[in-house]
Structure 1
Amino acid sequence: MDVYVLLLRLQLRGSEGRSEPVAQALLSGPLALRNDAAIRYRMRNISAVVQELGGPILKDFSPAESVGKLVRPRIRAMLLDDPGFSHLLGPTPGPGDDDLGDAKKALAILRQQIEDLEVELAWRGHNGPPEQEDLGIQRTDLAAALDDIAVVEAELEKPQPDKAAVEAGTSRILGLALKLAKWVGERATKFVDAALVAGAPIAVAKVTGLLPTIINAVDAVSRVVGG
């Protein structure tokens, strides 16, 4: 469910890539014993329930013609309990008292994860085996994202943030998520390779873990400045 909502949020934020290979890659761990057809049908089941709820669906996963009577209520309950999905069902409310604090917290978490990945990339650059060096991003990408986070944070401290500056910063931060998603999709087969999973679990987890963190931060900032 988390993967579906994440990919849907990426799609609505402007991702033009296909979501199917990304989904297969992200699900390869928790659903390692299922084949591609089973994973695809599970995602189509979710699309069917999302459509019934009046929400947007992933383009790559058309709604399944039938969903099991026991499966449907479980999927529905999980979707409605997901804050990220509930946010997509209706109009975005105006900024509340806690929205600014939520945005600052989300940006702080994002900064910490990027700094952790930056350390990982530095270590792998010196010690990692060649076949595990390609993580789809460079340390310069991470440094640029950290600079953009600092810009957005500085604007949020102002009584009247510059909306254009905030939107430009969050757009560039979102670009990192889209780049990571594209990389994940292009390397879906690597994610299910036993040697890679066994040899580089920390790097893989940190790279894919950045995706929801970036989207959460961008959404939180958007609630403060609008957009």
Structure 2
Amino acid sequence: MGESAPLRRVVIVDDHGIFRAGLKAEMAGRVEVVGEGQDVETAIAAVRGTRPEVVLLDVHLPGGTGGGGAEVVRACRDLTEVRFLAISVSDQAEDVVSVIRAGARGYVTKTISTADLAESVEAVATGDAVFSPRLAGFVLDAFGTGAVEDVRDEELDRLSAREVEVMRLIARGYTYREIAGELFISIKTVETHVSKVLRKLQLSSRHELTRWAEQRRIV
């Protein structure tokens, strides 16, 4: 009998230690976890320090300049041998599009089974693109001839993933208090995010922000 193929070398990036530990345990014997990261800075360091074949990357990460997982991908673009597979609880179009635009090769949600995730890692390692079924349409829309071509890349790219979340809820008519409850953050933090969004998009009011989001169909 021939020797089995070596396991794919993987870095796991997520800001929740329990999730990283659980994923590492679930994937034992399927991949070789060579590093971990919990925020933008530690993720970049782990990827550069270990040069894995695949990075399992959460989209919403603290640290850096607020760009989350997409910021990690952009910071490691020169490592052409490293491929990124986003794995997130979010199935929102802007999260999918932002990380794929940055250079990730796939995007799956955390509801994926261990077996399917292992297959996805292998597929991405060999150069294929992998998406959870309902997310593929977002990518086709964004990079084909689809519904989100009205979104101006340079404007959305100014916002962090958290700022986009706050913007969407503002546009849906949520109060600051309701947003704070929805996102488990303080009202003061909501106010800070809104101020940053208005400044980055050069808007002057909540009404203008709502109209901006509606025009781009990201409400």
Note whether the superposition's TM-score is higher than 0.5: no
TM-score class, shorter: under 0.3
Query: 1 or 2, which has the higher helix percentage?
Result: 1
Higher relative contact order (CA 8 A, sep 6+): 1
User: What TM-score, normalized to structure 1?
Assistant: 0.25
**Higher share in strand:** 2
TM-score, L = length of structure 2? 0.26
